[in-house]
Each structure stands twice: as C-alpha cells, then as structure tokens.
Amino acid sequence: MASHGLATNSTVSSSVRRSNCIFLDTNILVYCVDPNDPQKQQICRRHLRDLQTSDRAVISTQILQEFYSVTTSKLAMPPELSRHYVSEYRLLPTVTVTPNLIDNAISLHQAHQISFWDGLVIAAASGAGCDALLTEDMNAGQIIAGVEIVSPQLFSAA
C-alpha cells in the first residue's frame, strides 16, 4: 500500500481486499493439523474456525505452498492428505503472489531487517488490507506496513 511506503499492488483482487481481516501465517495452518502439540493445535483450530465464521481469514499462495512443503516433509504427512488440506484452505480468500508483491517484500526485507519470506507474508497481508498477521514466527506487537504481528496465544478474534 502506498501509505506504508509500498508500491500499490493493483493485482490484489478487490474480493480479497477487505477490512478488519486477519492474515494467517503458514505455522497457524500447520498447527491445525499437527498432532504433536495438542495445545497449539486446539488454539489454532479455534482461531481458524472463528476467523472463517466471521469471514476475516486471509492467506496467500505462498502460505499454501509452504503448508504443503512443511506437512509432507517435517510432519511426514501423506501427500494426498496434505493436498486435501490445501484444497480446503484455498477456499479462504487468497492473495496471489505477484511481481509487485515481490518488490514490496524486498523493500520490507531491506527496511525492517526481516527475512524476504516474512516480508512477502507481510506484503501480502498489507496488500489485502489486513489489520493483523497471526504468526508465531515474528515479534508479536511489532507493526510493519500497517500490519500488527500477533501471537496466536495472545489473539482474540472478538
């Protein structure tokens, strides 16, 4: 978004762009299907359900790609099952990674000393107009490009 020093991404669909939305990082979706930590699984499933019910959950194509990769490698999930989950998750409003989004991610990487991949997640969240990014992988409370980083343990969907 131009107001945050990012290039305007006209390829973000107006159907994805929404107010009061919450962008879900890959780790949130992975915890939903990971039986190794029942407490995180329960928390993340509750957040996903609440955000889906209120039509506030948003993801990106990057999240779908990373989910498939992580679940089939680190969790050793059968590829068919992982693909099933990807098919379910892709029903959420999904931001497509574009060249403009990549440019924005590079800018965020350079300006905020974050990884390029985290920059891409934040650029997608910002481009979709999300208020927050639900993740365990970044510093909770930090605001980057108008998106607040929120830990799932501290998040309330209310």
Of all residues in the chain, the percent with pLDDT exceeding 70 is 85
Average pLDDT of the residues in 42-51: 94
Composition of the chain by helix, strand, coil, percent to 5: 50, 10, 40
pLDDT tens across 15-38, in order?
455 568 999 999 999 999 999 999
pTM of the model: 0.86
Residue 56, token pair as written in the block: 């506030």
Supply the CATH classification number for the domain 2-150.
3.40.50.1010
The three-class DSSP label of residue 116 is helix
pLDDT tens across 67-85, in order?
999 999 999 999 999 999 9
The domain locations on the chain are 2-150
